[in-house]
Amino acid sequence: MFHAIRWSILVGGPAPAANSVIGACAAAFLQNGHECVGFFHGYSNLQEYHPVSHRLLPDTHYRVFTERDLRGLRNSQGIIIGTARANPGKTIKTHEDLLGAEKTKKLQNVYSALVDLQIDALISIGGDDTLRTANLIVQYQKTLPEGHPIIRVIHLPKTIDNDIPIVPFTFGYFTAVDIFAKITLNLRADALATSSYYIIETMGRKAGWLAYGTAIAGEANAVISVEDARQANLTTGGDLDLDKLSGYIVDLMITREKKYEKHYGTVVLAEGLAECLPPSTFKDSALDEHGHVSLGKIDLGKLVAERVAAGFEKKVGRPKKVTGVQLGYEARCAAPHAFDVMLGSQLGVGGYKALVEHGLDAHMVSTSGQLALDYVPFEHIINKDTMRSDVRFIEPGSDFHKLARFLETRVEKFEGETLRLGPRDETLTLK
């Protein structure tokens, strides 16, 4: 067995069941006579470490876990050690950057802090950005002189977006879908009562897993995500066209009225559609620590809802209430779904096994089948050119993709035909 003094854990962004992972991982170390440290707020304090002016202190910058800390933790909400979007590898764009002292300053701080605290290995819990940082810490250590202390690194995949490659499902995804779907069902009931529509924007910057899951479980009438954004009927010059997107939703509304006599509905959009718009859309938008546009501030759902309402009135000749709603923060620290608790707990135990039982370094823990543990080398996940993992999209034509398409309303065109408006049998010829 590897004889270690201390193991450490940190978390990237929030997700349901993160405490399940932390609790199971820390328990495995403690039960086998090891010490386990949890760093507060991700890399925030580690990257600012200085041997004189910013030494890291227990209960201020990190927690040494005890058995008492782990009682009842598995199903609890929030993150016991907090999270942050601090990014010590932000300045690293190429492999050559790893050789520059200025660009690796914060990576050096992280490494020096871990050495100072006599940490033998780091377990990071997070999505693709946190995975990228974990790999950069591994690569940075390869540039150090021979004989330097080795900090081994293991990554546990976490994102409600469910877009990390190789991993069938990431913990937190099913909790988020469950919450978003229930809200969508509530909005559907409201739409029915008021003869109106809701355009529901869900989190999902790069892939549509959240949007599709929400639409399927929430009985939405249509779902459009980044995987759909390059369709010819939605684009102009290769970019997503807001007018065409809105026009498609207007046609959906007309189809439901004419063919099914339905005067209400819900449409789910993935927030990442905003990044498919022309680049000029973001010229005044601020970027976060990882260089991403703040999609929440764009409010795509509201933007599309306004255009849909205007387009419907222009085409049909009467107004229709269309409301945009953003869904996101409601789910990130929610009480975890039972499956996420099981998946998260298994990944936490997997972090312990990867380090102590298998002696691994630079690996991500994954699962397959009935939560069987798999250990995947970083080099099998990280793209050598981009220095980050590729996005796992919903594959067009896959059974999951077909399921959503089967369950949504099939849009038809009715220009020049008579539209039935309601119970009084009023009619109108579409423009």
CB 162 within 8 A of CB 205: no
In this structure, is residue 1 part of a structural domain? Answer: no
**Shared domain check, 48 and 181:** no
What is the C-alpha separation between 21 and 419, in angstroms, rounded?
54
pLDDT at 425 over 70: no
298: amino acid identity, one letter: I
Total domain count, the chain: 2
What is the C-alpha separation between 25 and 372, in angstroms, rounded?
16
Q: Three-state SS across 292-312? A: CECHHHHCHHHHHHHHHHHHH
Mean of the per-residue pLDDT values for the chain? 90
**Shared domain check, 61 and 141:** yes
In this structure, is residue 115 part of a structural domain? Answer: yes
**Shared domain check, 159 and 120:** yes
Helices 242-260 and 300-316 pack at an angle, to 10 degrees, of 60
Cα–Cα distances (Å) from 31 to 8, 28, 34, 36, 345, in that order, read: 15, 5, 7, 11, 15
pLDDT in tens, 89-99: 999 999 999 99
Number of continuous H segments (helices) and E segments (strands) in the chain: 11, 17
**Shared domain check, 265 and 348:** no
**Shared domain check, 282 and 226:** yes
**What single string gives the DSSP state of each residue in 170-236?**
-BTHHHHHHHHHHHHHHHHHHHHHHT-EEEEEE--SS--HHHHHHHHHTT-SEEE-GGGTT-GGGEE
- In this prediction the pTM is 0.89
Considering only CA atoms, which of 37, 39, 13 is closest in space to residue 110? Answer: 39
The CATH number given to whatever domain includes residue 52 is: 3.40.50.450
pLDDT in tens, 178-224: 999 999 999 999 999 999 999 999 998 889 999 999 999 999 999 99
In this structure, is residue 295 part of a structural domain? Answer: yes
**Shared domain check, 347 and 328:** no
Residue range of the domain that includes 349? 6-170+336-389
Considering only CA atoms, which of 107, 125, 97, 121 is closest in space to residue 49? Answer: 107
In this structure, is residue 157 part of a structural domain? Answer: yes
In this structure, is residue 300 part of a structural domain? Answer: yes
Residue burial 11-37, b: 16+ Cβ < 10 Å; e: rest? bbbbbbbbbbbbbbbbbbbbeeebbbb
In this structure, is residue 15 part of a structural domain? Answer: yes
- pLDDT for position 205: 84
The CATH number given to whatever domain includes residue 416 is: 3.40.50.460
Strand (E) or helix (H) holding 154: strand 152-157
pLDDT at 2 over 70: no
- pLDDT for position 368: 94
- pLDDT for position 12: 84
**Shared domain check, 349 and 303:** no
**Shared domain check, 135 and 105:** yes
Two tokens at 423? 């119970």
C-alpha distance across the termini of the chain, in Å: 76
